[in-house]
Amino acid sequence: MKIGVLTGGGDCPGLNAVIRGAVRKALLLGHEVVGIKNGWRGLLDKNHYTLDHEAISGILHRGGTILGSSRTNLYEEGKNYYQQAIENYKAMGLDALIAIGGEDTLGVAAKLYKDGINVIGVPKTIDNDLSGTDYTFGFDTAINIATEAIDRLHTTAESHNRVLVVEVMGRHAGWIALHSGLAGGADITLIPEKPTTIKEIAAVLKQRHDRGKTFSIVVASEGAKVTTESDEDSSLVLQNLKKDSFGHVALGGVGNIVADAIEKETGFETRAVVLGHIQRGGTPTAYDRVLGSRFGIKAAELVEAGDFGKMTALRGTKIVSVSLDEAVGTLKTVDDETYNEAQTLFG
């Protein structure tokens, strides 16, 4: 078979491990593999090249993706992208596609499968918000980077008797904030799933400072819903209204706004740090290299078995497959039980 491999959406540490695992296994099984450049965009441009042993050599430890990425939506309304992509898939002589991506890329993959294309998905996102799998690769690297940053901010916050607000990624789900907050000992963690008011945040910090503490660490997801009062209209979240082709606004800035509001409410000097893309860049952790490699191998095995319309998934310690529909049906957000555990350690 001739198998196309592509990476779509925001990049993520471990993508190259998946590519390497999938290509090595596919070559062992006697298949031919081509890399499609820049996500779904590459299928529209027929931009592809052969992935042989040489092409995937020395990439395991490298961050980013050797294939490049884009946020192209083949099913964007008013465009005929997906018909073009299907035509190109046939013209390129492809028999199967391995799409490595998050909710948007795999949403397109699920639709393409229904439109007759042999697709396998691999779950990628630092946000860890895909259903059907216990973890996505990239998440472990992101929380390790965020935890190291929180550790560093602790010592400077303590020296200066400051409150430091650390803004981490997480558009719809607070997994990065919750895990790095737990690992780094955050005094309060703000996530999209749990709307909060500045008065509630201030109460936690004041209580802590009343116990004699002179500094605090607040971890906030970029998608945190923080309001001045209980009224949703007084939302403090800054949103740049520019949207991508999937309709997502570019987030970023909640940390600074929350920091200003905390300082006004409590009188404690408060500063903000936005970690942003630092969480997505650089070398993947050993965990993400292993998970990515295992996902890649499984993706090639699913192609060999002709078991299309599936996504590789981690369940416990086993790599299994789930239907793409199950994976993209609903986002995996932070549940009450997990949040309550973390909340025990606030303040």
Place of tokens 């035509």: 87
CB nearer ligand F6P, residue 64 or residue 309? 64
Which of 280/298 has CB closer to ligand F6P? 280
Contacts of 183 (CB under 8 A, 6+ apart): 143, 147, 150
Which H or E run contains 271?
strand 270-274
- The CA–CA distances, whole Å, from 188 to 81, 102, 282 equal 45, 28, 28
Classified as helix, coil or strand, 320 is: strand
Q: Nearest approach, Cβ of 102 to ligand F6P (angstroms)? A: 5
Which residues bind to ligand F6P, rule: CB under 6 A?
Answer: 10, 102, 125-127, 169-171, 222, 250-251, 277, 280
Catalytic residues: 127
Q: State the sign of the Cα–Cα–Cα–Cα dihedral 159, 164, 168, 173.
A: positive
Which residues face 101 on adjacent strands? 123
Nearest to 208 by CA among 147, 146, 165, 163: 163
Q: Which is nearer to ligand F6P, 102 or 184 (CB)?
A: 102
Which of residues 125 and 197 has its CB atom nearest to ligand F6P in the complex? 125
Answer whether 123's CB lies under 8 Å from 106's CB.
yes
State the nearest-atom distance from the C-beta of 133 to ligand F6P, in Å.
Answer: 15
Min dist. Cβ of residue 302 to ligand F6P (A): 24
Three-class SS state of 73: coil
Nearer to ligand F6P, 127 or 288 (CB): 127
Nearest-approach distance from CB 204 to ligand F6P, in angstroms: 25
Distance CA 176, CA 147 (A): 10
Q: Tell me the CA end-to-end span of the chain in Å, nearest whole number.
A: 57
Q: For the CB of residue 322, give the shortest distance to ligand F6P in the complex, in Å.
A: 20
